[in-house]
Structure 1
Amino acid sequence: MTVAAAQRGTTTVSDKAVRKIAERVAAEAVSVSVPGAGAAKGSATVRGRRADVAVDVALRYPTPLPGAVRALQKHVTDRTHRLTGLDIAAVRIAVTALIPVPAAAKSVAPRNHSAPASAEPVVVSRTPLRWWSRRRLPMGLLTLAAAVACGALAFDLILVHTAHRPAALWRTHTLNWLSGHGPGEPSVVIGAGVLAVLGLLMIALALTPGRRGLLTLASPSPRLRAAVDRGAVAVLVRDAVGDTQGIGRVRVRVRRRTVAVRARLAFGDRAVARRRVESAAGRALEGCGLLRVPRLRVRVRPEAAWDPETEEGGGGVGHPVAVTADGRALEGANR
């Protein structure tokens, strides 16, 4: 006897199970490119036969991020659908770190699930310039407070009109207190001030993106959204500037519209070093593929033991310069 499908029961896949599967699937692709790296964390929401998935990953550097994220998004969608049987409506990939590949590993071409597709022109999509936050905690608290207040009032009204019970004490006391206190009393003024501050806070949360630590990347597809952390951009710019000849300590601060580079010059001409720093930092920013490249501000200051006459052919690497306590080079030290 054949039993109908409806009588055999149903299979339900929980949000937690889908989240773990998506994390493992993302780790499969990412760990091939970056040994030891994988999905940092993820989330999933299941609605019937559909699921929304979000995964945070770390990718290797250098990697064309739009193509790599697009390939990783397709991989997570296909594998999660095949393992869970659910229709994956949307997969959001967030790149939280860029890990440089060791020199020894660069010579070996590993099998890369997140390899970018063939070179194609980057078309600026309608992706917003700022990465907006979902505001889950404020929205959750606001929804909980509204649900408790409206539920308590509705429950009391139902009891009054159906069971013919007197109104709840909290409701009668509140009405009596409001009828006996005017607008000029300190308690009313304080309460109104607190409500005004909460209202301004809610307006600020509604009008501001919130996730200031993310910079949006240029996307070749309107349906693909990608972002990179400011800290990762700062590390890339700092490493690029640190490789410049004559530069010692480097400090980089990445903001939403500007990138400030503060470098210390150990030897060489200051104007030449500044041009080299600007060129290296500009190439690093262009390589990030940002939707809006921030303005670059460079400041190069000499070290206490700076030798302006030391260049590539003189007292560069392998030709140390003897320096006195006041920063002057000893006569004949470069000879």
Structure 2
Amino acid sequence: MSGDGDARQGARRMPAPGEQPGAGGGLTGSAGVARPSPGGAHPDTGPAGGGHAGRFWSSRRVPSALVALVLLAAAGLLLLDVAAVRAHRPAAAWRRGLADELATRHLDDPWMQAGAAAAVLLGIWLIVLAVTPGLRAVLPMRRTAPGVRAGLDRPAAALVLRDRALEVAGVQSVRMTVGRRRAYARAVAHFRELGAVRRDLDTALGDGLRQLGLAHRPALTVYVRRPRKG
């Protein structure tokens, strides 16, 4: 399967803003040290209104389900015990023990402090999940139609760029890493001058990044080196 086909498989259709969402070049010397080029740091603007696509938000189904199950279980146990007390039955041993512990233990008790710390950490974790987008593996694409959002998986983008890099003469192997802000290409050239290979990689990968249609084009950094001897 070609790299373009893999990219299409990695692209996702995302809902419109009113719906609930799901979220350059580099220079290198002969020693393989990269220097970012000023041409790759500017985001694509695309069509009118198409260059301002924000990140996709995760629905956080697993944390939400876990919190809901814990709260449901706790509320069910408490309601069952309250109903038993109202029916003139003794309270459950766990509730009597919990009430005694809360009434007799001081705030400087290690168990009380450990429980409070655990509650604080759990609360901070839930707040972070609530206010952060998530879905870091999905890169927003430019909007070309109203009411439609699309995203491209980072591994799919890296696969397309890797295939482009392998088409450059002199490239023996290449490892691509695509992040939200920067894309790295680490290539091994077994013939041709490193400067010439680097220039061709810079051109090919720069064109590839533009053709991906991302809302914010990552800056590109290219590393080129010779194969290791041995």
Q: Please say if 1:152 is aligned against 2:97.
A: no
SS of equivalent residue, structure 1 residue 267:
coil
Flag the structure with larger Rg: 1
Unaligned runs of 5+ in 1: 1-33, 35-58, 74-89, 94-119, 306-324, 326-335
Q: TM-score, normalised by structure 1?
A: 0.53
Separation (CA, whole Å) in 2 of partners of 1:167 and 1:217: 59
Task: Give the structure 1 partner of residue 28 of structure 2.
Answer: none
1:218 equivalent in alignment to 2:142: yes
| Shift in Å, 1:186 | 1.6
The match for 1:131 is 56
Partner of 1:167: 91
Deviation at 1:126, TM superposition (A): 6.0
Hey, what does 2:33 align to over in structure 1? none
Aligned pairs, how many?
A: 201
Separation in structure 1 between the aligned mates of residue 20 and residue 99 of structure 2, nearest angstrom? 50
Q: 1:140 aligns with which of 46, 65, 71?
A: 65
**Structure 1 runs, 4 residues or longer, greater than 4 Å off:** 90-93
Alpha-carbon shift at residue 196 of structure 1 (Å): 1.9
Compute the displacement of 1:237 (Å): 0.7
Aligned to 1:308: none
- Quote the residue 1:248 is aligned against: 172
1:91–1:211 CA distance, 2 compared to 1 (3 A) = closer
Q: How does 1:202-241 map to 2 (within 5 A)?
A: 202-241=126-165
Aligned equivalents of 1:244 and 1:273: distance in 2? Answer: 7
Would the alpha carbon gap of residues 234 and 203 (structure 1) be closer, same or farther in structure 2, given more than 3 Å must change? Answer: same
Structure 2 equivalent of residue 193 of structure 1: 117
By how many angstroms is 1:190 displaced? 1.7
Other-structure match for 1:257: 181
Q: Find out whether 1:269 has 2:214 as its counterpart.
A: no
Q: Distance between the aligned counterparts of 1:301 and 1:243, measured in 2? A: 17
Q: Confirm or deny: 8 A CA contact 2:7 2:152 kept in the other structure.
A: no
Distance in 1, Cα, partners of 2:156 & 2:72: 41
SS at structure 2 position matched to 1:253? strand
Show the counterpart of 1:60: 5
After TM superposition, list the pairs within 5 Å mapping 1:284-323 onto structure 2.
284-303=208-227
Post-superposition CA distance 1:123-147 (Å, at most 9, x none): 417642x222111111001001111
C-alpha offsets along residues 222-254 of structure 1, whole Å, 9 cap, x if unaligned?
Answer: 421221111111111111011111121111111
2:6, 2:159 within 8 Å by CA — same for their partners in 1? no
Q: 1:272 to 1:207 in 2, by over 3 A?
A: same
For the 8 Å contact 1:125–1:220, the answer to whether it is kept is no
User: Can you list the C-alpha shifts for 1:17-73, whole angstroms capped at 9, x where unaligned?
Assistant: xxxxxxxxxxxxxxxxx8xxxxxxxxxxxxxxxxxxxxxxxx83676x98x969xx9
Map of 1:281 onto structure 2: 205
Give distance in 1, aligned partners of 2:166 and 2:179: 20
User: Scaled by the length of structure 2, what TM-score is found?
Assistant: 0.75
Contact 2:6/2:156, CA 8 A, preserved across alignment: no
Q: What's the C-alpha RMSD, in Å, of the aligned pairs?
A: 3.2
- Alignment map for 1:107-122 (pairs within 5 Å): 121=47
Farther off after superposition, 283-292 or 295-304: 295-304
Between the aligned partners of 2:150 and 2:129, the Cα distance in structure 1 is 22
- Unaligned ranges ≥5, structure 2: 23-45
Asked if structure 2 preserves the Cα contact closer than 8 Å seen for 1:125 and 1:221, the reply is: no
Q: Deviations over 1:255-302 (max 9, x none)?
A: 121100011122223222211101111111111111111111111123
Q: How does 1:55-94 map to 2 (within 5 A)?
A: 60=5
Look up the SS of the partner of 2:172 in the other structure. strand
Indicate the structure whose relative CO is greater, using CA pairs within 8 Å and at least 6 residues apart: 2
Q: Which AA in structure 2 matches 1:272?
A: A
Q: Equivalents in 2 of 1:122, 1:272: separation in Å?
A: 37
Alpha-carbon distance in 2 for matches of 1:299, 1:62: 23
Q: Hey, what's the Cα distance between the residues in 2 that align with 1:199 and 1:69? A: 33
